[in-house]
């Protein structure tokens, strides 16, 4: 992981050679990485794959493998708010890369806090939740695999428990933990799903006084859910990042500066992490040197380079996608460039972006028919 461009080029060349579907896309756009990918600027011309191609309904996920199907270890699947999860084949080597990314983020994630409190189920529970067999390989929640790569302390408390087929939040346990630590400034980390944490805090606000956990607590959210939807959780409205931070910060007595959020998705490999900036009232995501993000104009799809520019997020992966065609992925999320070279808040030298949210839409219902063939099949 010394030279991102060289490693990305190697990864892409291999993807071009080993994934006929990706080669087909490239050929269609007149792009041959052997010829056209020679310098860093050329990365902006690299064809991308839309995340929706990995959806179960698209039935394309086997065509997006770079290795024979029988050699993959598992299918990692998204949480599927829509009921149509993404399915991405992965091998151990790619999953181990996730652990390496976590290691590289040690300074930010602060593993090994005296007490880790997690608003997700235990990794093994999460991985096997609603698991099924596809082409003889087990599906596992991508989030479960991310949690697995985290290596939580043995005494980590997981507030989400499985009861039958349902996952339930143990609010009583959360209440006990925060009461126990009230006013003690213990080294704690509160990690997990944004809507779950938000819901839990809002529920407790009705039944107890705020606590003061102090400045040694890290609140690390991840896995999305800002639009108010995550898996089977549906809230009335999207969660405003500022509202979330202010609400949780005030109720638990944790400084706003201690909030971080990680962003990634099943079809991608490296997560990006943002720290909350009270000045910007938003999370500012740093693009690490082991990955690259391109923000593309919504109309022209051309790469954007100026602070304030808003567009689709494309992620370039040099590592961790050796099993599937994940080297260059465009996702239906919108991002905004904050700076191309330095975080204006903490001054770290890196591209910095904000995540605006998911692209939403639907055709107006009208006299032009939509056939809804999938619906007919059910």
Partner 1 sequence: MRIEYTCGNTALSKNINDLNLELIGSEENEIINEINKLRANTIKTHDLPLQYTIDLLDQCGKLWLNREYSKKHVEILSHILSQSKELVIYELEHTMQMLLKENLEKTIKEELGTKEVLDTWVNTGYGKVHRQPRGVIFHNISGNAFVVVPTSISMGLLSKNCNLVKVSGDEPYFAYAFYNSLCEIDPSIKDRLSVIYFNSEYSNIYKTIVKNTDCVIHWGGEHSGRMMGELCAKFDNHLIMHGAKISFEVIDKINNANHTADLIARDVICWEQKACLSPRIVFVNKNLDTKQLAQAIADKLKEYTSILPKAYLNPWNSMKIIQDRQYCLLKYGVKKQQNVELYSSYNADYTVILNDSLLDKEDIDRCFNRFIFVCPYESSDEVLEYINNNLKSYLQTMGYSGDNEEFIEKMTLLGVSIVTKPGDMSIHYPGTSHDGFHNLQEMTYVVSRQL
* Residues of the shown chain interacting with partner 1 in the complex, contacts defined by CB under 8 A: 20-21, 24-25, 28-29, 49-50, 52-53, 58-60, 63, 298-301, 312, 330, 332, 334, 359-374
Instruction: Mark 77-98 as b/e (b = at least 16 C-beta within 10 Å).
Output: bbbbbeeebbbbbbbeebbebb
Cα separation, 200 vs 112, whole angstroms: 24
Cβ nearer to partner 1, comparing 133 with 373? 373
Cβ nearer to partner 1, comparing 103 with 297? 297
All residues at 6 or more sequence positions from 135 whose CB lies less than 8 Å from its CB, including other chains: 62, 69
2 contacts 8 by C-beta, under 8 angstroms: no
Cβ nearer to partner 1, comparing 41 with 166? 41
Cβ nearer to partner 1, comparing 107 with 361? 361
Cα separation, 309 vs 195, whole angstroms: 28
Cβ nearer to partner 1, comparing 77 with 330? 330
Q: Give me the least distance between CB of 18 and partner 1, in Å please.
A: 14
Cβ nearer to partner 1, comparing 57 with 71? 57
Cβ nearer to partner 1, comparing 200 with 330? 330
Cβ nearer to partner 1, comparing 21 with 247? 21
150 contacts 93 by C-beta, under 8 angstroms: no
Q: Give me the least distance between CB of 366 and partner 1, in Å please.
A: 3
Cβ nearer to partner 1, comparing 154 with 362? 362
312 contacts 300 by C-beta, under 8 angstroms: no
Q: Give me the least distance between CB of 245 and partner 1, in Å please.
A: 24
371 contacts 90 by C-beta, under 8 angstroms: no
Q: Give me the least distance between CB of 334 and partner 1, in Å please.
A: 6
Q: Which pairs count as long-range contacts for 235-240, CB under 8 Å and 24+ apart, including other chains?
A: 235/195, 235/198, 235/199, 238/357, 239/194, 239/195, 239/198
**What residues does 170 pair with on adjacent strands?**
none
Q: Give me the least distance between CB of 327 and partner 1, in Å please.
A: 15
Q: Hey, which bits of 16-146 come out as E strands?
A: 49-50, 74-77, 87-90, 115-119, 133-134, 137-141
345 contacts 284 by C-beta, under 8 angstroms: yes
Q: Which residue's entry shows tokens 């055709």? A: 363
234 contacts 228 by C-beta, under 8 angstroms: yes
Residue count (the chain): 378
Cα separation, 116 vs 370, whole angstroms: 49
Q: Give me the least distance between CB of 297 and partner 1, in Å please.
A: 8
**Number of other CB atoms surrounding residue 340 within 10 Å:** 16
Cβ nearer to partner 1, comparing 20 with 183? 20
Q: Give me the least distance between CB of 81 and partner 1, in Å please.
A: 16
All residues at 6 or more sequence positions from 22 whose CB lies less than 8 Å from its CB, including other chains: 15, 16, 47, 49, 64, 325
Q: Which tokens is 262 given?
A: 């990680």
């Amino acid at each position: 992981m010394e030279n991102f461009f060289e490693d990305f080029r190697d990864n892409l060349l291999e993807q071009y050679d080993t994934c006929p579907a990706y080669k087909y896309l490239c050929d269609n756009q007149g792009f041959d990485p052997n010829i056209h990918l020679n310098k860093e600027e050329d990365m902006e011309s690299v064809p991308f794959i839309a995340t929706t191609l990995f959806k179960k309904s698209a039935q394309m996920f086997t065509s997006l493998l770079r290795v024979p199907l029988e050699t993959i270890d598992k299918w990692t699947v998204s949480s599927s708010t829509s009921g149509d999860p993404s399915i991405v084949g992965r091998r151990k080597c790619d999953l181990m890369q996730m652990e390496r990314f976590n290691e590289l983020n040690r300074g930010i994630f602060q593993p090994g806090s005296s007490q880790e409190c997690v608003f997700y189920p235990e990794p093994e529970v999460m991985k096997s939740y609603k698991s099924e067999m596809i082409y003889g390989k087990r599906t596992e929640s991508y989030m479960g695999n991310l949690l697995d790569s985290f290596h939580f302390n043995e005494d980590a408390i997981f507030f989400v428990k499985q009861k039958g087929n349902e996952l339930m939040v143990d609010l009583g346990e959360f209440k006990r933990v925060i009461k126990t630590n009230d006013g003690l400034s213990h080294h704690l980390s509160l990690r997990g799903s944004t809507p779950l944490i938000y819901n839990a805090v809002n529920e407790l606000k009705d039944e107890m006084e705020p606590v003061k956990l102090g400045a040694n607590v890290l609140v690390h959210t991840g896995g999305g859910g800002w639009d108010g939807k995550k898996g089977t959780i549906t809230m009335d409205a999207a969660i405003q990042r500022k509202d979330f931070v202010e609400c949780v910060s005030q109720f638990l007595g944790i400084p706003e500066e201690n909030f971080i959020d990680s962003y990634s998705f099943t079809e991608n490999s490296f997560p990006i992490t943002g720290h909350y900036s009270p000045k910007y009232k938003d999370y500012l995501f740093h693009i690490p040197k082991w990955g690259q993000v391109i923000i593309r104009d919504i109309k022209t799809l051309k790469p954007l380079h100026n602070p304030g520019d808003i567009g689709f997020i494309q992620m370039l992966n040099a590592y961790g996608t050796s099993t599937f065609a994940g080297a260059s992925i465009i996702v239906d999320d919108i991002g905004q460039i904050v700076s191309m070279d330095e975080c204006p808040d903490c001054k770290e030298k890196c591209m910095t972006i904000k995540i605006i949210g998911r692209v939403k839409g639907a055709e107006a219902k009208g006299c032009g028919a939509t056939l809804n063939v999938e619906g007919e099949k059910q």
